[in-house]
Amino acid sequence: MGLISDNDERAYLEEIKHLENWCQENNLLLNDLSWSRHTNSLAKKTRQRLYHLRHLRDFRLPSKVLRNFYTCTIESILTGNITVWFGNSTKQDRQALQRVVRSAERITHTQLPDLQTIYHKRCQTKARRIVKDYTHPKNRLLSLLRSGKRFHSDDQDRETEEELLPTGHSGPESGELINCGDHHH
């Protein structure tokens, strides 16, 4: 970095301190394999938006309008990059986020998709895009079965799971995840 001269590391250490502060301010975690901080942030943001949803309900807006508000302002926050973080989040973190969804269901008087279902659908969509994109670096790992509905791993070893799922993934095997359909695991 050019900040160390005459074995004096103070300028370098000061720069590292600035980087640490910037990462904390921007909710970036370095060397932290936990998603709890991220999911706590999501829960906080979405609970704040439930306040607005309640006010709209108090104005006696139709359920369809309330559901649209939920989808645009709350669900979009809950599911942002869900394929990256959901599989490695703890059960406790998932339950905290699911409570937001259940609260929104009570407010809107409609049934809303649970996060696990959204996660599975997004993983399937991502896998289908990979299969269709011959230039994608992971294209060789998956192929559709003749039915066109389920995926088959071309490499039957752990390489597929290791390359498609995040390090430390604690959820189902990759084949189960992308072939799960609409049922819950």
The residues spanned by each domain of the chain are: 34-112, 117-178
Interatomic CA distance for residues 73 and 180, integer angstroms = 27
Closest by CA to 123, choosing from 89, 90, 164, 88, is 164
Query: Is the pTM here over 0.85, yes or no?
Result: no
Q: What is the pLDDT of residue 71?
A: 98
Q: What is the pLDDT of residue 183?
A: 43
pLDDT means per 10 residues, the chain with 185 residues, are 71 84 70 82 97 98 97 97 93 98 98 97 92 89 81 60 53 56 42
Closest by CA to 97, choosing from 54, 56, 36, is 36
Q: What is the pLDDT of residue 7?
A: 78
Exposed / middle / buried, residue 144 (Cβ in 10 Å: 0-12, 13-18, 19+):
middle
